Amino acid sequence: MIECRKLSRDFKVFKKNEGFKGTVRSFFKRDYYINPAVKDFDLELGSHGLVGLLGPNGSGKTTLMKMMTGIIVPSRGTVKVLNEIPSHRKNSFKKNISLVMGQKAQLWWDIPVMDSFLLFQKYYEIEETDFRKRVNELGERLNTRKLFHIPVRKLSLGERMKMELMACLLHEPKVIFLDEPTIGLDIVAQKSVRAFLKDYYQEKKPLIILTSHYMADVEALCEKIILILEGVKKFEGSIDDFKGRFRKEKTLVFNFEEEVKSFSRDLEEKFHCEWSKDRSQLKIRVPEKQLKKTVIQILNQFSVSDFHTEKVGVEEVMDEILSGS
Amino acid sequence: MKKYLSVYREFFKSSLSEDLSFRANFTLQFLMNASFIGVYFFTSVFIFNHVEQIGIWDKDQFLFFLCFALFVDQIHYLIFSFNFWIFSDEVRLGSFDFTLLKPYPSLFITFFKRLATPGVFTVFLAFYMLIYFGLKANLSAWMWLSLPFCVVLSLALLLSIEVLISIFNFFTIEGIGINQARLQVQQLCRWPDFIYKNPARLWLIPFLAITSIPVRYLLDFSYWTWLAILSAVVFLFWFAIIFFIWPKALSFYESASS
């Protein structure tokens, strides 16, 4: 369904020195540099699945999506989506894909949402009965039915994003690209969008590619993760594999029966230890290979009431990767 | 064709819905447009109060030219003008992405999607003036039949030039200068070619041809060869735009960062 081979995209970026002199000089002589936004990206995805595209700002996620949707043309390499080359921009291809961008709106700003939906109905040649059924169903699930006749500019950010999602799903696309669909939303709206996407995926089984800075989105929705750093694919696999590969340490949490006044100096020097105020709880980060040995050592030396390994979130792993630790 | 018309009907309804949401703005746009027609028309009437003829045309012929130019201008305002401004913004801000995703030719969506509906009334006003001065200029029956073709030809040439200019938005990103250039083209084609001296006229031929050649033909059949050449040029322009220039230009579109 999606196939990328050595996909690359460069951007020519204009550089200007600060100040008046820099401004005048740049008017007559431009300095450019080539920014390789995506480099030799290989990917193969099937006809359905929920895939998370992770990476920091400027890592090339959106550029990748834009090449997959045919918005921009690759500099090198090939990309095929639904057996079509996206940059050929065939109508048959465009009828089967959709893109939602959390930072850009495609609904008409000053008219009621329903008017924009009617326009989408014509674009995608949706039968009247199907259109009404889908609008009502999606409106019911996203709890937006009462907002259909309100101009977009009067809607809150969360409401607007739900409407953007509705607009992109009206024609039931086979491949859906969601670029930060929950950006700027409050926790409640984020959860509601997440729950909706999960349900929608379960029911229609499209291929959904999602980028998000909220790792909760990724953890709740994605079956597979692709990590992209500086335009290069660094990882592709399940969330568990992701955590395992990048997080070589585990956090052990020990609760002691009483305050621990003196702890093993050897362990404190070797590993990162974090004590509770009353020194009755310890969080210790231990490399996986030394996990068993360390647990036995602590259990033997101290009176432990209970212990467990702490569940590591994707966010923590991403933090570590991005901070280079 | 039917599906394009149904999309276009929706464009009209959405534009009307948007325009009518702002009543004061709608009224102002109508009034400003009507005043533009008034000022442009009465300036020429004032000149003819002092002279018998301008160039090769007498008062009725000149005012017929003027009304032809106004009618083309008003149709252009109603159907296309907003789209050129929106296009510049969309390319700069990256929302042109969504145009490229729609399952219709991007040229169609880009330049047809937003109508300036306050222009509906002034189109009728300009149409009435065109018929009135056509009668006064004694157009023959054949010329009345040719009139719709001439209007379409004139509009098609104006649009092709404007689209060619607007394509530079993909390279310049900021579109204010480009839109000013477009407005100058519109300004040039509102006056007959013979008011310019020969050397200037030579350089301005494509712009002056927009209204001058169709009207010269409508007033004097002997200009039919000019009209035929113009028709061929317009056809070639659009052929090149649709099949070569626009698709090539799209490959330079870089979108904007999110």
Q: How many whole angstroms separate alpha carbon B135 and alpha carbon B137?
A: 5
Q: What is the pTM of this model?
A: 0.84
Quick count: other Cβ atoms within 10 Å of Cβ B229? Answer: 12
Nearest CB among B14, B93, B98 relative to A106 is that of B98
**What ipTM is given for this predicted complex?**
0.86
Candidates B106, B113, B257, B258, partner chain A, best to mutate (most A CBs within 10 A): B258
Q: Is B97 on the interface with A (CB under 8 A)?
A: yes
Helix (H) or strand (E) holding A49: strand A49-54
pLDDT confidence tier of residue A269, bands split at 50, 70 and 90: confident
pLDDT number for residue A216: 80
Pick the range with the lowest mean pLDDT from A166-180, A229-243, B88-102, B129-143.
A229-243
Q: Mean pLDDT throughout B115-136?
A: 95
Q: Mean pLDDT throughout A279-289?
A: 87
Whether A325 has a pLDDT exceeding 60, the answer reads: no
Given an 8 Å threshold on Cβ–Cβ distance, is B104 in contact with A123?
yes
pLDDT number for residue A324: 61
A228 or A314: which leads in pLDDT: A228
Q: How many whole angstroms separate alpha carbon A113 and alpha carbon A169?
A: 14
pLDDT number for residue A219: 84
- Residue ranges per structural domain of chain A: 2-8+39-244, 248-323
Helix (H) or strand (E) holding A39: strand A31-45
Whether A266 has a pLDDT exceeding 90, the answer reads: no
pLDDT number for residue B198: 75
Q: In angstroms, what separates the C-alpha of A57 from chain B's closest C-alpha?
A: 10
- Best-predicted range by mean pLDDT (A50-59, A170-179, A298-307): A170-179
Give the chain A residue whose CA is nearest to the CA of B94.
A104
Which residues from A are below 8 Å from B when comparing CB atoms? Answer: 11, 58, 62, 66, 69-73, 87, 89, 91-92, 94-95, 97-99, 101-106, 108, 110-112, 115-116, 118-119, 122-125, 151, 179-180
The 3-state secondary structure of chain B reads CHHHHHHHHHHHHHHHHHHHHCHHHHHHHHHHHHHHHHHHHHHHHHHHCCCCEECCEEHHHHHHHHHHHHHHHHHHHHHHHHHHHHHHHHHHHCCHHHHHHCCCCHHHHHHHCCCCCCHHHHHHHHHHHHHHHHHHCCCCHHHHHHHHHHHHHHHHHHHHHHHHHHCCHHHHCCCHHHHHHHHHHHHHCCCCHHHCCHHHHHHHHHHHHHHHHHHHHHHCHHHHHHHHHHHHHHHHHHHHHHHHHHHHHHCCCCCCCC
Q: How many whole angstroms separate alpha carbon A183 and alpha carbon A323?
A: 22
Q: How many whole angstroms separate alpha carbon B155 and alpha carbon B186?
A: 11
Instruction: Describe the crossing of helices B82-93 and B141-166 by its angle, rounded to 10 degrees.
Output: 20
The amino acid that residue A112 corresponds to is P
Candidates A111, A178, A213, partner chain B, best to mutate (most B CBs within 10 A): A111
Given an 8 Å threshold on Cβ–Cβ distance, is B103 in contact with A151?
no
Given an 8 Å threshold on Cβ–Cβ distance, is B7 in contact with A123?
yes
Q: In angstroms, what separates the C-alpha of B13 from chain A's closest C-alpha?
A: 8
pLDDT confidence tier of residue B258, bands split at 50, 70 and 90: low
Q: Which residues of A166-193 are buried (b: 16+ CB within 10 A; e: fewer)?
A: bbbbbbbbbbbbbbbbbbebeeebbebb
Judging contacts by C-beta atoms under 8 Å, the chain A residues touching residue B98 are: 99, 104, 106
B residues 14-33 closer than 8 Å to A (CB)? 14, 17-18, 21-22
Fold of A248-323: Alpha-Beta Plaits (3.30.70)
A289 or A152: which leads in pLDDT: A152
> What is the Cα gyration radius of chain A?
25
Given an 8 Å threshold on Cβ–Cβ distance, is A91 in contact with B18?
no
Judging contacts by C-beta atoms under 8 Å, the chain B residues touching residue A103 are: 258
Half-sphere exposure of A75 (CA within 13 A, CB side): 16
Given an 8 Å threshold on Cβ–Cβ distance, is A179 in contact with B258?
yes
pLDDT confidence tier of residue B180, bands split at 50, 70 and 90: very high
Nearest CB among B22, B102, B106 relative to A123 is that of B102
Q: How many whole angstroms separate alpha carbon B13 and alpha carbon B26?
A: 15
Contact A55, A314 (CB under 8 A): no
Is B41 buried (19+), middle (13-18) or exposed (0-12) by CB count in 10 A? middle
Q: How many whole angstroms separate alpha carbon B94 and alpha carbon A145?
A: 30
Of A60, A87, A69, the closest CA to residue A2 belongs to A69
Whether A23 has a pLDDT exceeding 90, the answer reads: no
Q: How far is CA A172 from CA A3, A132, A201, in A?
A: 21, 13, 11
Whether A178 has a pLDDT exceeding 90, the answer reads: yes
Q: Mean pLDDT throughout A133-157?
A: 92
Phi and psi at A273, nearest 5°, equal -115, 140
For chain A, the average pLDDT equals 89
Fold of A2-8+39-244: Rossmann fold (3.40.50)
Q: How many whole angstroms separate alpha carbon B110 and alpha carbon A198?
A: 35
Candidates A97, A98, A116, A123, partner chain B, best to mutate (most B CBs within 10 A): A123
Bin A244: left if φ > 0, else alpha if -120 < ψ < 50, else beta. alpha
Nearest CB among A101, A104, A151 relative to B21 is that of A151
Whether A3 has a pLDDT exceeding 70, the answer reads: yes
Q: How many whole angstroms separate alpha carbon A318 and alpha carbon A217?
A: 14
Is A222 buried (19+), middle (13-18) or exposed (0-12) by CB count in 10 A? buried
Q: Which residues of B27-39 are buried (b: 16+ CB within 10 A; e: fewer)?
A: eebbeebeeebee
Q: Is B220 on the interface with A (CB under 8 A)?
A: no
User: Token pair for residue B15?
Assistant: 């534009």
For chain B, the average pLDDT equals 92
- Residue ranges per structural domain of chain B: 2-250
* Number of inter-chain CB pairs under 8 A, A vs B: 84
A218 or A170: which leads in pLDDT: A170
Q: Mean pLDDT throughout B233-244?
A: 95
Angle value at C-alpha B70, between B64 and B73, nearest 5 degrees: 145
Nearest CB among A72, A91, A97 relative to B255 is that of A72
Q: Mean pLDDT throughout B62-72?
A: 95
Measured in whole angstroms, the distance separating CA B221 from the mean position of its chain's CA atoms is 24
